[in-house]
């Protein structure tokens, strides 16, 4: 169908064009054009649309075609029609507010589709295998497991983690250097400022919650630049007084690039020469799709790297189980910070996880979820490539999310517009700007951070359709 344009300035008080394109009927083309105009904000709530006859004459189509299109959009909730008031853009309930911190999400007013990063598919939790592990663990548990316990954590879990991390991540340790905690944030609270007072180097893009947690602890953070090779480790040599660096070397969060081998070496050399520490956040080390797993940085120097991990991505954040693999000289200070009566992770959950690992159930679950998440990633790529081939998707070789890069020259305003379009589609989504460190000096990047792990299998196709409707068109 040839393109048809209509200038609605006289009717709407603004210079607005409707473009009828694509295959199918003119009615379908008009519905798409009006829906897109509302979705992108070009037609604001309350805007009065032209009468049927006027719009039909301008477009060169039948009056009934316009009437039918209006009626369809009224039924869908995009438009409203009242006697004597004409047809207007509907006043919807207040759209979802942009999520400035991915970790502070209101429980009420949940969106229809959730593509936020950081959450595994809750419907895939291995309930039967976990229950079987819990029964075995409790049946075999020694009596002291139900007493005050050891602040380092249950020895059964520390032994299981020693073997598992060596086998799958190349971590070099022993049970005496592992301290069980309640997750990554808990590990940071134990380390800062009691053990490592700071200042601390971090990546220019990361989780805002972690930046805030460190700021609340009075720890100054310096932002390292990022490029296609990961964090600019060479910048550390020019910084004074930095005692530690927090990085995501295997899969930079959220951009998705691995730390280049040369920079891994630079990082280790800096830590050795200055007596500093590297905190390795191995947040999704198990999920690799298109490349061989990148071994843990800790394996290069166990005395200068603190390896931090948890089951929040692989199993569930509800378990509140994580671990610190520490240099020998930091074990005692961390245990002192933890205290003798600290609110530790549940001993029964620790015993269950230990059995879950040693019985091979954890490996089987990881393999199954790796296959599922890879299928979802492929579906995401296929959907975006088919609907918006002008957009680039990065960070796809590993992890549970991807970044949809906005075109070169895009601004923060463009990113905000895309997020508003997502909200209109009932889609929970983060913008890349939400992860930028406040003190970052590198040029800003703009895009959408799309988590593909959270929705259930039956909900994922609908979430992808909503995402495609929200993606910005080609300029």
Query: What's the per-residue H, E or C state across 395-429?
Result: CCCECCEEEEECCCCCCHHHHHHHHHHHHHCCEEC
Residue 157 tokens read as: 């879990």
What are the residue boundaries of the structural domains of the chain, listed by start?
5-89, 113-123+364-470, 126-359
Candidate CATH numbers 1.10.10.10, 3.90.340.10, 1.10.760.10, 2.60.300.12; the one for domain 5-89: 1.10.10.10
- Chain position carrying tokens 């075995």: 136
**For the chain, how many residues are written?**
475
User: How many whole angstroms separate alpha carbon 332 and alpha carbon 338?
Assistant: 10
Instruction: Give me the average pLDDT of each 10-residue run along the chain (475 residues).
Output: 42 53 80 84 84 82 87 82 80 47 46 88 93 96 89 95 94 96 92 90 91 89 94 91 93 91 95 95 84 84 96 93 96 89 80 97 95 93 91 89 90 90 91 92 92 90 91 80
Residue 11 tokens read as: 């009717």
What one-character DSSP code corresponds to residue 472? P
User: How many whole angstroms separate alpha carbon 410 and alpha carbon 390?
Assistant: 13
What pLDDT, on a 0 to 100 scale, did the predictor assign at position 80?
A: 85
- The domain 126-359 having CATH identifier 3.40.640.10: the answer here is yes
Q: Among positive and negative, which fits the CA dihedral 354, 125, 98, 429?
A: positive
**Architecture field, domain 113-123+364-470:** Alpha-Beta Complex (3.90)
What pLDDT, on a 0 to 100 scale, did the predictor assign at position 286?
A: 82
- Chain position carrying tokens 């959270």: 454
CA 179 from centre of chain: 26
Record the pTM: 0.76
SS (H, E, C) 151-165: CCCCHHHHHHHHHHH
């Amino acid at each position: 169908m040839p393109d048809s344009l209509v200038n609605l300035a006289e009717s709407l008080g603004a210079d607005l064009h409707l473009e009828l394109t694509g295959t199918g009927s003119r009615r379908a083309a008009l519905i798409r054009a009006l829906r897109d105009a509302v979705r992108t904000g070009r037609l604001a709530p309350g805007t009065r649309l032209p009468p049927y006859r006027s719009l039909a004459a301008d477009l060169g189509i039948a009056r009934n075609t316009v009437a039918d299109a209006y009626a369809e959009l009224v039924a869908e909730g995009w438009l409203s029609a009242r006697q004597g008031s004409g047809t207007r853009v509907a006043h919807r309930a207040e759209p979802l507010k942009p999520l400035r911190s991915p970790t502070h999400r209101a429980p009420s007013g949940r969106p229809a589709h959730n593509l936020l990063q950081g959450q595994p598919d809750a419907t895939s939790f291995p309930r039967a295998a976990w229950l079987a592990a819990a029964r075995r663990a409790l049946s075999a548990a020694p009596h002291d497991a139900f007493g005050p316990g050891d602040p380092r954590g249950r020895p059964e879990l520390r032994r299981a983690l020693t073997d598992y991390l060596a086998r799958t991540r190349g971590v070099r340790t022993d049970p005496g250097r592992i301290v069980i905690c309640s997750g990554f944030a808990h590990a940071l609270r134990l380390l800062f400022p009691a053990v490592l007072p700071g200042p601390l180097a971090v990546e220019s893009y990361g989780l805002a919650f972690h930046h805030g947690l460190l700021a609340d602890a009075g720890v100054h953070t310096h932002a390292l630049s990022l490029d296609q090779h990961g964090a600019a480790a060479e910048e550390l040599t020019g910084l004074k007084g930095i005692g530690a660096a927090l990085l995501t070397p295997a899969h930079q969060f959220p951009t998705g690039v691995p730390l280049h081998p040369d920079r891994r070496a630079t990082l280790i050399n800096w830590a050795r020469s200055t007596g500093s520490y590297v905190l390795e956040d191995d947040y999704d080390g198990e999920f690799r799709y298109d490349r061989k797993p990148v071994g843990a940085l800790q394996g290069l120097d166990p005395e200068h790297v603190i390896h931090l991990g948890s089951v929040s991505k692989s199993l569930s954040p509800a378990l509140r189980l994580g671990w610190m693999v520490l240099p020998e000289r930091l074990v005692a200070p961390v245990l002192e910070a933890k205290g003798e009566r600290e609110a530790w992770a549940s001993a029964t959950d620790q015993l269950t996880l230990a059995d879950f690992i040693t019985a091979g159930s954890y490996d089987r679950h990881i393999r199954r979820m790796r296959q599922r998440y890879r299928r979802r990633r492929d579906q995401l790529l296929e959907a975006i490539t088919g609907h918006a081939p002008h957009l680039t998707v990065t960070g796809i070789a590993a992890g549970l999310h991807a970044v949809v890069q906005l075109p070169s020259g895009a601004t923060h305003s463009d990113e905000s517009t895309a997020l508003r379009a997502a909200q209109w589609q009932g889609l929970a989504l983060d913008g890349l700007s939400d992860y930028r460190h406040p003190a970052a000096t590198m040029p800003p990047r703009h895009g959408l951070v799309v988590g593909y792990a959270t929705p259930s299998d039956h909900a994922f196709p609908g979430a992808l359709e909503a995402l495609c409707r929200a993606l910005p068109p080609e300029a």
